[in-house]
Amino acid sequence: MKEKLSSFARRTSLRQLRAFGAYVRAGSISGAAQELGLTPPAVSQQLRLLEHALGGVPLTVRDRDGVRPSEAGEEVLLALDRIEAALSDCAAAIAALRGLERGRVAVGVVSTAKYWAPFALAAFQRARPGIELTIRVGNRAQIVTALSALDLDLAIMGYPPDDQPLEKVALGEHPHVIVAAPDHPRAGERDIPVAALAQERFLLREPGSGTRALLRRLLEEAGIRPPREELLLPGAVEIGSNETIKQAVMAGMGIALLSAHTIEAEVADGRLVVLDVQGLPIVRTWYLVRRRDRRILPAAQALWDHLLREGRRFLPRLPCCPTGPERSPSA
């Protein structure tokens, strides 16, 4: 097996791998040629050489939707991602060795953290203006995927995945509460059981959101089972952003479980109220994470150190959410 792998490595070039990546992205030889600045015959030749190096294993499957990678093709794309990441790291490391206070850092931020993380990142940029930040904002599933593809140097999130080799460090507490419009019938009630909210219309984030997953566990812990896997409650409304959810709650459309760090301004000026629900706030943790198998370069290390040292002070402080031990609904 080792000889076969060595032979494949000797007969495979970066040009072949990049041609395959472009072909999958474009869905056609001509599209890949345009992306790479080559002729279509040149791209076809690189693809043939790559498949020959693999012993003729098909790398793509064509169906009604076009071209998609086969299982072997997925492995080749993963290898290409790792090689491109290593080359990028090498270029940045060489720049650092030349004594430049420069570099580029790719940061992932789950959408719930966008209400405070930019302030921490802005403070870093003021201190290190020569370092360029690329910030990717997405839901938990999108950030996890980007970490898996080695597209990020580090990420800020609340639910680090267990199936990746990650280093994670706690940044601070992350409370979650249920909010309603100020004139909601339950706005003045005390100690509301979670089960009593089963008939309320909940406004939900999309599948893949960490907040949605937390609400599912909270409801299941209270004995409320979803009628279907994709639906948490009858009459629930799925909305793709915290901002739109807040506006819908203020309009009286329903109630929502949200990170307390997303509602600071609305609670302060009376546009939203936090319902007094038993067991809430649920206090989770914000984490700073990075892949252990990706080399950390000086610019990324500088940002990592900055966030560990200064990140906590940018977290909102809400009177509705006293600090306390973390509570996690059982799965």
**21-77 tens-digit pLDDT:** 999 998 899 998 998 888 999 999 999 999 888 888 889 888 877 888 899 889 999
88-92, 192-196, 227-231, 248-252: segment of lowest average pLDDT:
227-231
- The pLDDT-based confidence of 7 (bands split at 50, 70, 90) is low
pLDDT score, position 18 = 92
**249-280 tens-digit pLDDT:** 999 999 999 999 999 889 989 999 999 999 99
Which residue from 284, 322, 298 is spatially nearest to 140, judged by alpha carbons?
A: 284
As a whole number of Å, the end-to-end CA separation of the chain is 42
Domains parsed from the chain with CATH numbers: 2-79 (1.10.10.10), 82-172+285-314 (3.40.190.10), 173-283 (3.40.190.10)
Percent of the residues in the chain that have a pLDDT greater than 70, as a whole number: 89
187, pLDDT greater than 80: yes
- The pLDDT-based confidence of 318 (bands split at 50, 70, 90) is low
Burial profile 198-214: b = 16 or more Cβ within 10 angstroms, e = fewer: eebbbbbbeeebbbbbb
Instruction: Confirm if 166 and 119 have CB atoms less than 8 A apart.
Output: no
99, pLDDT greater than 70: no
Tokens found for residue 19: 């041609």
Q: Around 80, how many Cα atoms within 13 Å sit in the side-chain half-sphere? A: 19
Read off the pTM: 0.65
Question: Mean pLDDT score of the chain, rounded to an integer?
Answer: 86
**What are φ and ψ of residue 179, in 5° steps?**
-115, 155
Measured CA to CA, the distance from residue 139 to residue 145 in angstroms comes to 10
**What are φ and ψ of residue 121, in 5° steps?**
-70, -35
103, pLDDT greater than 80: yes
Measured CA to CA, the distance from residue 329 to residue 279 in angstroms comes to 10
Instruction: Confirm if 80 and 20 have CB atoms less than 8 A apart.
Output: yes
